[in-house]
């Protein structure tokens, strides 16, 4: 495994560790379900920034 691949693996593990919290996991699941059910031609009218 190259150095870059190791860094990507570490970043991936750190990102996935955020989902150890049940509330974060449920919020992410609800967002993904909402995203899945959007019409194909949907265009956003406003943009919201979410931070943890």
**pLDDT, tens digit, 9 for 90 and up, residues 1-52:** 788 888 888 888 888 887 777 888 888 889 999 989 989 898 888 888 888 7
Whether 25 contacts 19, CB under 8 Å: yes
For the chain, helix (H) and strand (E) counts, in that order, are: 2, 0
**Predicted pLDDT at 30:** 92
Residues constituting the chain? 52
**Its pTM surpasses 0.75:** no
C-alpha dist (Å) from residue 15 to 28, 36, 38, 41, 46: 13, 21, 25, 30, 26
């Amino acid at each position: 495994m190259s150095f870059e691949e190791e860094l990507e693996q570490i970043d991936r593990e750190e990102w996935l560790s955020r989902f150890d919290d049940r509330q974060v996991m449920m919020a992410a699941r609800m967002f993904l379900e909402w995203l899945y059910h959007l019409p194909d031609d949907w265009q956003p009218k406003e943009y919201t920034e979410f931070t943890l």
